[in-house]
Amino acid sequence: MANNKSLAAVQKELGDCTRCKLSEGRKTIVFGSGNPNADLVFVGEGPGADEDEQGLPFVGRAGKKLTEIIEKGMGLSREKDTYICNIVKCRPPGNRDPEPDEIAACNPFLIQQLKAIKPKVIVALGKPASSTLLGRPVPITKERGTWHEYAGIKLMLTLHPSYLIRFYTLENRKAVHEDMKKVLRELKK
Protein backbone atom coordinates (compact mmCIF):
# COMPACT_ATOMS: atom_id res chain seq x y z
CA MET A 1 0.00 0.00 0.00
CA ALA A 2 2.98 2.34 0.38
CA ASN A 3 3.17 2.68 -3.41
CA ASN A 4 -0.51 3.58 -3.55
CA LYS A 5 -0.06 6.43 -1.06
CA SER A 6 3.01 7.60 -2.89
CA LEU A 7 1.17 7.64 -6.21
CA ALA A 8 -1.73 9.47 -4.56
CA ALA A 9 0.75 12.01 -3.18
CA VAL A 10 2.14 12.59 -6.69
CA GLN A 11 -1.39 13.11 -8.01
CA LYS A 12 -2.15 15.51 -5.16
CA GLU A 13 1.02 17.48 -5.90
CA LEU A 14 0.00 17.72 -9.57
CA GLY A 15 -3.27 19.22 -8.36
CA ASP A 16 -5.25 21.31 -10.84
CA CYS A 17 -2.10 21.89 -12.87
CA THR A 18 -1.56 25.08 -14.88
CA ARG A 19 2.19 24.59 -15.48
CA CYS A 20 1.87 24.73 -19.29
CA LYS A 21 -0.49 25.90 -22.02
CA LEU A 22 -2.16 22.47 -22.35
CA SER A 23 -4.12 23.27 -19.17
CA GLU A 24 -6.01 25.99 -21.05
CA GLY A 25 -7.84 23.58 -23.37
CA ARG A 26 -8.23 20.46 -21.27
CA LYS A 27 -11.36 19.20 -19.55
CA THR A 28 -9.62 16.72 -17.27
CA ILE A 29 -6.12 15.88 -16.09
CA VAL A 30 -5.45 12.29 -17.13
CA PHE A 31 -3.07 11.07 -14.43
CA GLY A 32 -2.96 7.32 -15.01
CA SER A 33 -4.81 4.11 -14.19
CA GLY A 34 -4.26 0.51 -13.23
CA ASN A 35 -2.42 -1.30 -10.47
CA PRO A 36 -0.17 1.09 -8.49
CA ASN A 37 2.04 -1.91 -7.62
CA ALA A 38 2.27 -3.25 -11.18
CA ASP A 39 5.45 -4.86 -12.49
CA LEU A 40 4.59 -3.51 -15.95
CA VAL A 41 3.96 0.14 -16.89
CA PHE A 42 2.94 1.37 -20.33
CA VAL A 43 3.80 5.00 -21.10
CA GLY A 44 2.10 6.76 -24.00
CA GLU A 45 2.34 10.31 -25.27
CA GLY A 46 -0.82 12.14 -24.18
CA PRO A 47 -4.59 11.97 -23.79
CA GLY A 48 -6.91 12.20 -26.79
CA ALA A 49 -10.50 13.45 -26.84
CA ASP A 50 -11.99 10.32 -25.20
CA GLU A 51 -9.35 10.34 -22.47
CA ASP A 52 -9.87 14.06 -21.82
CA GLU A 53 -13.60 13.39 -21.49
CA GLN A 54 -13.30 10.35 -19.17
CA GLY A 55 -10.15 11.28 -17.24
CA LEU A 56 -8.53 7.90 -17.94
CA PRO A 57 -5.64 7.01 -20.26
CA PHE A 58 -6.09 4.89 -23.37
CA VAL A 59 -9.89 4.58 -23.50
CA GLY A 60 -10.42 5.50 -27.18
CA ARG A 61 -9.54 3.43 -30.26
CA ALA A 62 -5.84 3.26 -29.34
CA GLY A 63 -6.88 2.22 -25.83
CA LYS A 64 -8.98 -0.64 -27.15
CA LYS A 65 -6.00 -1.76 -29.23
CA LEU A 66 -3.70 -1.53 -26.16
CA THR A 67 -6.17 -3.53 -24.06
CA GLU A 68 -6.27 -6.17 -26.81
CA ILE A 69 -2.44 -6.33 -26.82
CA ILE A 70 -2.33 -6.67 -23.02
CA GLU A 71 -5.20 -9.12 -22.57
CA LYS A 72 -5.28 -11.21 -25.75
CA GLY A 73 -1.66 -10.87 -26.81
CA MET A 74 0.03 -11.06 -23.41
CA GLY A 75 -2.59 -12.91 -21.36
CA LEU A 76 -2.54 -10.22 -18.65
CA SER A 77 -5.26 -8.12 -17.06
CA ARG A 78 -5.06 -4.42 -17.96
CA GLU A 79 -6.42 -3.34 -14.56
CA LYS A 80 -4.69 -5.89 -12.31
CA ASP A 81 -1.33 -6.43 -14.02
CA THR A 82 -0.41 -3.06 -15.52
CA TYR A 83 -0.33 0.66 -14.88
CA ILE A 84 -0.84 3.04 -17.80
CA CYS A 85 0.10 6.71 -18.02
CA ASN A 86 1.34 9.31 -20.49
CA ILE A 87 4.27 11.71 -20.76
CA VAL A 88 1.80 14.63 -20.63
CA LYS A 89 -1.35 14.59 -18.53
CA CYS A 90 -3.46 17.03 -20.61
CA ARG A 91 -4.71 16.68 -24.17
CA PRO A 92 -2.64 18.39 -26.86
CA PRO A 93 -5.01 20.26 -29.21
CA GLY A 94 -5.89 18.34 -32.36
CA ASN A 95 -4.08 15.28 -30.98
CA ARG A 96 -0.72 16.77 -32.04
CA ASP A 97 2.50 15.52 -30.46
CA PRO A 98 3.31 17.21 -27.14
CA GLU A 99 5.77 20.10 -27.46
CA PRO A 100 9.10 20.17 -25.56
CA ASP A 101 7.93 22.76 -22.99
CA GLU A 102 4.76 20.73 -22.29
CA ILE A 103 6.78 17.55 -21.83
CA ALA A 104 9.20 19.42 -19.55
CA ALA A 105 6.32 20.69 -17.39
CA CYS A 106 4.91 17.17 -16.93
CA ASN A 107 8.15 15.19 -16.77
CA PRO A 108 8.72 15.60 -12.99
CA PHE A 109 5.32 13.96 -12.42
CA LEU A 110 6.05 11.09 -14.79
CA ILE A 111 9.38 10.52 -13.02
CA GLN A 112 7.62 10.49 -9.64
CA GLN A 113 4.89 8.15 -10.92
CA LEU A 114 7.48 5.64 -12.11
CA LYS A 115 9.44 5.94 -8.83
CA ALA A 116 6.24 5.32 -6.84
CA ILE A 117 5.22 2.26 -8.86
CA LYS A 118 8.71 0.71 -9.10
CA PRO A 119 7.90 -1.55 -12.07
CA LYS A 120 10.18 -4.29 -13.39
CA VAL A 121 9.52 -3.22 -16.98
CA ILE A 122 8.38 -0.02 -18.71
CA VAL A 123 7.02 -0.14 -22.26
CA ALA A 124 7.32 3.16 -24.15
CA LEU A 125 4.53 3.41 -26.72
CA GLY A 126 5.69 5.35 -29.76
CA LYS A 127 8.27 7.98 -30.56
CA PRO A 128 7.37 10.81 -28.11
CA ALA A 129 7.28 8.47 -25.07
CA SER A 130 10.47 6.67 -26.17
CA SER A 131 12.30 9.95 -26.81
CA THR A 132 11.19 11.41 -23.47
CA LEU A 133 12.22 8.38 -21.43
CA LEU A 134 15.59 8.07 -23.19
CA GLY A 135 16.25 11.81 -23.28
CA ARG A 136 17.11 11.80 -27.00
CA PRO A 137 15.31 11.63 -30.35
CA VAL A 138 14.30 8.04 -31.11
CA PRO A 139 13.61 6.76 -34.63
CA ILE A 140 10.93 4.38 -33.32
CA THR A 141 10.56 2.22 -36.43
CA LYS A 142 14.31 1.50 -36.26
CA GLU A 143 14.64 1.10 -32.48
CA ARG A 144 11.39 -0.63 -31.56
CA GLY A 145 11.93 -4.04 -30.02
CA THR A 146 15.16 -3.00 -28.33
CA TRP A 147 15.89 -3.01 -24.61
CA HIS A 148 17.11 0.11 -22.87
CA GLU A 149 17.24 1.24 -19.26
CA TYR A 150 15.37 4.02 -17.50
CA ALA A 151 16.45 4.79 -13.91
CA GLY A 152 17.57 1.18 -13.45
CA ILE A 153 14.33 -0.22 -14.93
CA LYS A 154 14.21 -2.28 -18.13
CA LEU A 155 12.66 -0.21 -20.92
CA MET A 156 11.18 -1.67 -24.12
CA LEU A 157 10.43 0.61 -27.07
CA THR A 158 7.49 -0.34 -29.28
CA LEU A 159 5.01 1.13 -31.73
CA HIS A 160 2.09 3.18 -30.42
CA PRO A 161 -1.31 1.44 -30.70
CA SER A 162 -2.60 4.33 -32.85
CA TYR A 163 0.24 3.62 -35.31
CA LEU A 164 -0.97 0.01 -35.49
CA ILE A 165 -4.47 1.26 -36.28
CA ARG A 166 -3.25 3.64 -39.01
CA PHE A 167 -0.75 1.18 -40.47
CA TYR A 168 -2.52 -2.11 -39.83
CA THR A 169 -0.08 -4.49 -41.49
CA LEU A 170 0.94 -8.01 -40.62
CA GLU A 171 4.52 -6.79 -40.29
CA ASN A 172 3.60 -4.14 -37.67
CA ARG A 173 1.35 -6.51 -35.73
CA LYS A 174 4.09 -9.16 -35.67
CA ALA A 175 6.65 -6.58 -34.55
CA VAL A 176 4.58 -5.50 -31.54
CA HIS A 177 3.74 -9.14 -30.75
CA GLU A 178 7.48 -9.95 -30.69
CA ASP A 179 8.16 -6.92 -28.48
CA MET A 180 5.50 -8.04 -25.99
CA LYS A 181 6.92 -11.59 -25.95
CA LYS A 182 10.26 -10.07 -24.92
CA VAL A 183 8.49 -8.09 -22.19
CA LEU A 184 6.76 -11.23 -20.87
CA ARG A 185 10.09 -13.08 -20.76
CA GLU A 186 11.65 -10.22 -18.79
CA LEU A 187 8.72 -10.12 -16.34
CA LYS A 188 9.18 -13.85 -15.63
CA LYS A 189 12.86 -13.44 -14.66
Compute the average pLDDT of residues 168-184: 98
Is residue 88 a contact partner of residue 7, using CB atoms and an 8 Å limit?
no
Residue 145: φ, ψ to 5°: 85, 5
Compute the average pLDDT of residues 32-60: 97
The per-residue pLDDT for 2 is 45
Domain count, the chain: 1
The per-residue pLDDT for 135 is 97
Q: 117 pLDDT exceeds 80?
A: yes
Q: How far is CA 117 from the centre of its chain?
A: 13
pLDDT class of 4 with cuts at 50, 70, 90: low
Question: What is the average pLDDT score of the chain?
Answer: 96
| CA-angle at 148, arms to 143 and 150, nearest 5° | 130
Residue % of the chain over a pLDDT of 90: 96
pLDDT class of 1 with cuts at 50, 70, 90: very low
Could you tell me the CATH number of the domain that includes residue 81? 3.40.470.10
pLDDT class of 23 with cuts at 50, 70, 90: very high
Domain range for 148: 2-188
Compute the average pLDDT of residues 26-37: 97
Is residue 145 a contact partner of residue 157, using CB atoms and an 8 Å limit?
yes
The per-residue pLDDT for 129 is 98
